[in-house]
Structure 1
């Protein structure tokens, strides 16, 4: 469930900044309306606020804010899945509907070890390291 929440959080925030925004908002809001109807309106408002933040972060190249937004939605989705484990199949279906290319992307697996004063930097996508 944690991996699904992690993947879904990244996918949803990414889709919020694309032409798929309306479908993403409706799909996620509908999911909450069916599973936790008392939270559906607040989730819709959180989606809109996240979209504004994601658009601004994308324009500014602010990867830290985008990572925080991914983590926020990962947490929300993880809590939803913990409360309603049966929703996992529905969430997978929603993600496939919203982002059909998602299933064709290769999985990224990384392993690293460092010793002594060595540092390891890994990223599944873009990585920006500021030099001190």
Structure 2
């Protein structure tokens, strides 16, 4: 298999599942179904239903503290996208453009930050960390 197809399918599956629980969900769903429409127009309704079901499963897993469901669903969508790209490589650039549109670029989004924090408290010490504003009220 073409490594470019495998890499893009991996990124797409991860992005699709990650965005299912965000405000970008509808744009993600519409973009994916539009691409699917070009390759398998007869399957668009079933793919839309599968996307909706996956979203419900993701939300339930996150609410229920289930850490295993999300990686399983990512792998499922990676496989689906890989098979789609193998069926019609001409949609590769359309998929890449959609992913670029959906993924924020830190250079163009000044409200996007990469914050990494580490702390260690011993004894009766406390650690308070925040990526932005923090207010602590102790009585």
Distance 1:71 1:57 in 2: 16
Per the alignment, do residues 102 and 90 of structure 1 end up closer, same or farther by CA in structure 2, a change over 3 Å counting?
farther
- Structure 2 unpaired stretches of 5+: 109-139
Query: Looking at CA atoms only, which structure, 1 or 2, has the larger radius of gyration?
Result: 2
Higher helix share: 1
CA distance in 2, matches of 1:52, 1:70: 14
- Contact 2:39–2:87, Cα closer than 8 Å, also in 1: no
Equivalent residue, structure 1, for 2:6: 2
Counterpart-to-counterpart distance in 1, 2:64 and 2:105: 26
Query: What's the TM-score, normalizing by structure 2?
Result: 0.70
How far apart are 1:60 and its partner, in Å?
2.1
- Cα RMSD of the aligned pairs, angstroms, is 1.8
* Equivalenced residues, count: 104
Separation of aligned partners in 1, 2:42 and 2:12? 22
Instruction: Note closer, same or farther for the CA distance 1:103–1:47 as it changes in structure 2 (3 Å cut).
Output: farther
The answer to whether the Cα contact below 8 Å between 1:96 and 1:103 also exists between their aligned partners in 2 is no
For 1:6 and 1:95, the matched residues in 2 are separated by 12
